[in-house]
Amino acid sequence: MLNKKKADPTIQSAPITLQPNDTKIYIACPYERRLLSQLVKGQTSRKSLDSIIGTTNTPEYIRRLRERGLGIVTHKAHGLNRDGRRVWWGIYSLDDADKARVLNALGAQYE
């Protein structure tokens, strides 16, 4: 009997390294599409991205996209948590040089 498993987007994305002058972007799964759709709009915190893309491991998807040649910048935001302790969190943004490439990969809906 065949074992029919649902597709797992966490293992479907094979790393593909782009050349710096390559204009194509490979979007491996819906998580990456939603992540890029948000980053095109502007910088976004890791916590917000987790909610938007529907996962709790945004840094892994950021890593995969970076391995494929995308310029995604991490800024550190500092503050206090509910217990008054100093904490920091990541704010991600898309490198300006890659914004046109991402818009092209996402298609006409973002023009």
Tens digits of per-residue pLDDT, 22-59?
Answer: 567 888 899 999 999 999 999 999 999 999 999 999 99
Residue-wise pLDDT tens digits, 7-19: 454 444 444 444 4
Q: Is 73 exposed, middle or buried (0-12, 13-18, 19+ CB in 10 A)?
A: middle
Taking the model in full, what pTM does it have? 0.73
Query: Residue 17's pLDDT is what?
Result: 44
Mind listing the pLDDT tens digit for each residue in 59-104? 999 999 999 999 999 999 999 999 999 999 999 999 988 998 899 8
Task: Give yes or no for residue 4 having a pLDDT over 70.
Answer: no
User: 53-62 long-range contacts, Cβ below 8 Å, gap at least 24?
Assistant: 54/30, 55/31, 57/10, 58/92, 59/90, 60/10, 61/31, 61/32, 61/35, 62/35, 62/92
Distance between CA 35 and CA 77 in Å, rounded? 19
